Amino acid sequence: MRPVFSVVVPCYNEEDCILATHGRLTAVMAGMGEPYELLFVNDGSRDATPQMLDELSARDPMVKVVHFARNAGHQAAVSAGMDYASGEAVVIIDADLQDPPEVIPEMARLWREGAQVVYGKRKSRAGEGLLKKWTAKWFYRLLRKLAGDAFPEDTGDFRLADRKVVDVVKAMPEHARYLRGMFAWAGFQQVPLEYDREARFAGETHYPLKKMLRLAANGVMSFSEKPLHLALWLGLLWLLAGGVTLLILLVSELMGWGTMRLGLPVLVCLAAGSILLAIWIVGAYLARVYEEVKGRPLYVVAATRGFEPKETRLPPGARVRS
Ligand code: UDP
Ligand code: MG
């Protein structure tokens, strides 16, 4: 039977969370009284997560598992979950219980009332450092400036999305994935639902600063060309600086002051820095273009568990393409 709800849970080394997450999700989903599936995507975990998921799928028919051949990242794991999900609505939720499953029935209610995406908006964030909160806040502001107001603030990937919207996002083949932006890009009827983000149930974040920055860069570069235009403004600025310097040099020469010599190396350093910065920006976009052109699969599936025999094959939408 086709489930009404598919809950997609990306998991990377979550052995301390899996059972608790499964328990709470099951309580919530079973309480809603409609067919559902819990779709765990094991993103190349190196701890006991894979075995625990297999055991879960052996004893709970609602559980389906997709094992990646290696770690492909959170956004790829969620994308795989959407590829394999067959529900009319897809819920995306982290495995660490930072996003409380108890919010899902309210999301479902709003969906029944006509919303096509209900995205969780973080009212508060427990257990996250000041730096993370502060950088997140400013990043979302910057993104809205660069990419437009359609990008909701304080919003992660925790959401419920209608099949229609999921199919649109699935059809977007880009590798530099910034799913929350891709959902916003899709349009449709989107409504926020405020919730308090909890602290991690156990373990540590798998989003170190480097991964955070990469996600942020994907967010900016997948949705805005504005950084590329920075070269124009830098160029104009340097033309202006050059003109002013020339003028000062001329005056200084005429008046016999001869004091401008020191300023030149400084100007040269600043100019060289700006040029390299502009080249870096072009390079960052180019690297993304290269990534897309290669057209490699987004993720590689090693095995699946709990699907009906015909589903065990890769679904047509899966991005393991030749
Ligand atoms: N995750 C993943 N692959 C990764 C990193 C994280 O599937 O390479 C999963 C992780 O198991 C969790 C979710 O993505 O379910 C969010 O990760 P995490 O809680 O570490 O990030 P944070 O909430 O600290 O931003
Ligand atoms: Mg987390």
Closest residue to atom 2 of ligand 1, CA basis = 74
The residue type found at 135 is T
Closest residue to atom 23 of ligand 1, CA basis = 205
| Cα of 205 from ligand 1 centre, angstroms | 6
Is the minimum distance from the CB of 205 to ligand 1 under 6 angstroms?
yes
Best residue among 206, 211, 214 to mutate for probing ligand 1, ranked by most atoms within 8 Å of CB: 206
**Strand intervals (E) in 151-189:** 155-162
Classified as helix, coil or strand, 147 is helix
- Which residues fall inside 5 Å of ion ligand 2, going by CB? 94, 96, 98
Q: Which residues pair with 194 in a beta bridge?
A: 121
| Cα of 98 from ligand 2 centre, angstroms | 6
- 98's tokens: 């930072």
DSSP for 109-121? HHHHTT-SEEEEE
Is the minimum distance from the CB of 10 to ligand 1 under 6 angstroms?
yes
- What is the spatial distance between Cα 297 and Cα 321, in angstroms, rounded to a whole number? 6
Is the minimum distance from the CB of 43 to ligand 1 under 6 angstroms?
yes
Across the chain, which has 322 residues, the per-10-residue mean pLDDT values are: 94 95 96 96 96 96 96 96 96 94 96 96 79 82 78 87 97 91 91 88 81 84 84 84 80 75 73 86 90 92 85 53 41
Return the pLDDT at 250: 80
| Cα of 91 from ligand 1 centre, angstroms | 16
Q: What are the backbone dihedrals phi and psi of residue 310, each rounded to the nearest 5 degrees, phi first?
A: -75, -20
